[in-house]
Chains A and B, each alone.
Chain A
Amino acid sequence: MGVVGTWVRVGVGVLLGAVTGLVELVYLIWAGIILIPAWPQPRTRRAAVQRIQAGARNLAEVERWRLAAFLRAENASDYTGARAVEYLLLRWAVGLLGGLVLLLFLYGAAVGVIWTFEAFTGQSTLLLIVSQVLLSAVLLFLIVQGFIGIAAVERRLARHFLGPSTREVLERRITELSTSRAGVVAAVDAERRRIERDIHDGVQQRLVALGMLLGRARRAPDNSELIAQAHEETQHILDELRDVAWRAYPAALDNLGLHEALLRVAERAGIRVRLRYELAERPPSAVETAAYFVVSEAVTNAAKHAYAQEVTVDVTQADRLVVRVRDDGVGGADPGGSGLSGLARRVAAVDGEFTVDSPVGGPTVIVAELPCV
């Protein structure tokens, strides 16, 4: 969508708005005409009002569609008939005003064509041409401003009268929250499963192996070699245990903060990691944790599944904290896979946005935007 496309879209929107404005004006006049004789009787009055409101709602729905399609303004549909009538009482005028701006534009364009024709056929003086160009530029500027103004007024009117209402906003938020809450529970369960696996497949196996070594040593006549092996094994077990604990929750995150913890991830990654960390102050702890896990999971994936040589990690902050992890691996990562969907849920839980871009052949770019409030 280029600049021209945008202007055509807005232009068509305003043109349609002028047409609907005319229709609305006619409708309101008709409404007045049927309301006057029905007014004295409460019953007939109620019926008339209901008819008018139903029609007004239909017209307002047309406006809603137009605003969504051409002016990029989404509004809710849960407004009352009375609100629709109020909306139309003001809206028709804006529509016609838009029509006038459009006419002015067409008029200006026609005059411009005539002037240009005259300039090329030598019917004007240089002074005249200069003044015409200046005048055209000013007029064009005014017309453009007119369009922008009309579009803005349209959006504001619709937002004011048609919503989204508070209820709709709340409902959306509740849906969002219950989705992310379910996601958080699932993510936590997945984490626990991973930790359980880590403990059994790592630490416990090593402990059983150690027990076997010692058991063999007790049965062997010459056991110094076995005891030496067992001693070495205890060192491995300790390393493994430290790793498992770290993967469950990196304690350094609390004491030393995100930057230190990420440096540690880079050290342990086994591939080259370029870390650019540009936060002036420490983000809130929940955000730090989410950011940490995004980086550590993404780096692990890059090393393990994407066969990457190098990973670039950028942690920056505008109004939101942005974590961007890019690797030069084979791509084709599945956002629905357990690791990445877990990250998506973790990010959603802190109201962030999470995107994975991983075409086959790479590169994979993972971005998480986390609000810091």
Chain B
Amino acid sequence: MRVTLAEDSTLLREGLVRLLAEEGHEVVAAVGDGDALLAAVAAEQPDVVVVDVRMPPTHTDEGLRAALRIRERWPGVGVLVLSQYVEKRYAVDLLTGHPEGVGYLLKDRVAQVGEFLDALVRVGGGGAAFDPEVVRQLLARTTHADPISRLTERERTVLDHMAQGHTNATIAGQLHISQSAVEKHVNAIFDKLDLSHVTGYSRRVLAVLRYLGS
């Protein structure tokens, strides 16, 4: 995939460039701040952007603001946001608008190379990737305590995996149950959460997430 990186730490930026190159992706631009990122996206139209939340000049949420701008102006570009901490508001901000090609990971997750690359591919392909930590927090803090509390333990686990952007097949593999069992759980969850059926994995994930984050 064609990737653009925005990360102010030179060390990490170089590491990411090498990692992505080794994996056969093409890094079309690697920049150190939000403005440069927007310029690079405008020029290159990559498949996916990896962006750090904290960047110069203020080291607060430049990266996130750039990510939101990209989602607004170039809906076809996937955006994978890396954050120092889990911020529920950031997750919710990212989920508003169109629900494709978005991801929100804890920065440390990059060290789990496999998971990171996996998430990148999902986001680049129009899917979703949410850090387990983000999902846990959204589940914990959800204002819809009621419907969530009606879920069984197993259904909760399935929802947790589903919200991270996993497919039924991978969930089945991780929980060591059959795929049809997963489908049964998923349907039960949708019934209890009162969500209309939509096709496409990313859609269902985002529907659930938005519901939890609202």
Residues of A within 8 A of B (CB): 197, 200-201, 204-216, 218-220
List the B residue with the shortest CB-CB distance to A219: B113
Indicate whether A216 sits within 8 Å of B19 (C-beta atoms), given known contacts A205-B11, A209-B12.
yes
Residues of A within 8 A of B111 (CB): 207-208, 210-212, 214-215
Report the interface size for chain B: residues with CB under 8 A from the other chain.
Answer: 18
Among candidates B19, B54, B59, residue contacting A212 with C-beta atoms closer than 8 Å: B19
List the B residue with the shortest CB-CB distance to A202: B9
Among candidates B54, B110, B114, residue contacting A208 with C-beta atoms closer than 8 Å: B110
List the B residue with the shortest CB-CB distance to A216: B19
Indicate whether A216 sits within 8 Å of B18 (C-beta atoms), given known contacts A200-B84, A208-B110, A211-B110.
yes
* CB-based A-B contact count at 8 angstroms: 52
Q: When the two chains form their complex, are residues A212 and B16 in contact, meaning their CB atoms are under 8 A apart? A: yes
Binary contact track B10-31/A, C-beta < 8 Å → 1, others 0: 0110011011001000000000
Indicate whether A215 sits within 8 Å of B9 (C-beta atoms), given known contacts A197-B59, A208-B108, A220-B22.
no
List the A residue with the shortest CB-CB distance to B22: A216
List the A residue with the shortest CB-CB distance to B115: A215
List the B residue with the shortest CB-CB distance to A236: B11
Main secondary structure of the interface of B (DSSP, over half): helix
Q: Can you name 18 A-B residue pairings with CB atoms under 8 Å?
A: A200-B54, A204-B84, A204-B107, A205-B11, A206-B11, A207-B108, A208-B107, A208-B111, A209-B9, A209-B11, A210-B111, A213-B15, A214-B111, A215-B19, A216-B19, A216-B22, A218-B113, A219-B114
List the A residue with the shortest CB-CB distance to B113: A215
Measured in the bound complex, the distance between the Cα atoms of B16 and A209 in whole Å is 8
Residues of B within 8 A of A (CB): 9, 11-12, 15-16, 18-19, 22, 54, 59, 84, 107-108, 110-114
Given contacts A201-B9, A201-B59, A210-B111, 19 further A-B contacts (CB under 8 A): A200-B54, A204-B84, A204-B107, A205-B9, A206-B11, A208-B107, A208-B110, A208-B111, A209-B9, A209-B12, A211-B108, A211-B113, A212-B12, A212-B16, A214-B111, A215-B19, A215-B112, A216-B22, A216-B113
Measured in the bound complex, the distance between the Cα atoms of B107 and A151 in whole Å is 73
Residues of A within 8 A of B84 (CB): 200, 204
Indicate whether A219 sits within 8 Å of B22 (C-beta atoms), given known contacts A210-B111, A212-B113, A213-B15.
yes
Residues of B within 8 A of A214 (CB): 111
Residues of B within 8 A of A211 (CB): 108, 110-113
List the A residue with the shortest CB-CB distance to B59: A197
Top 5 A-B pairs, shortest CB-CB distance:
A211-B111, A215-B113, A205-B9, A212-B15, A209-B15
Measured in the bound complex, the distance between the Cα atoms of B15 and A331 in whole Å is 39
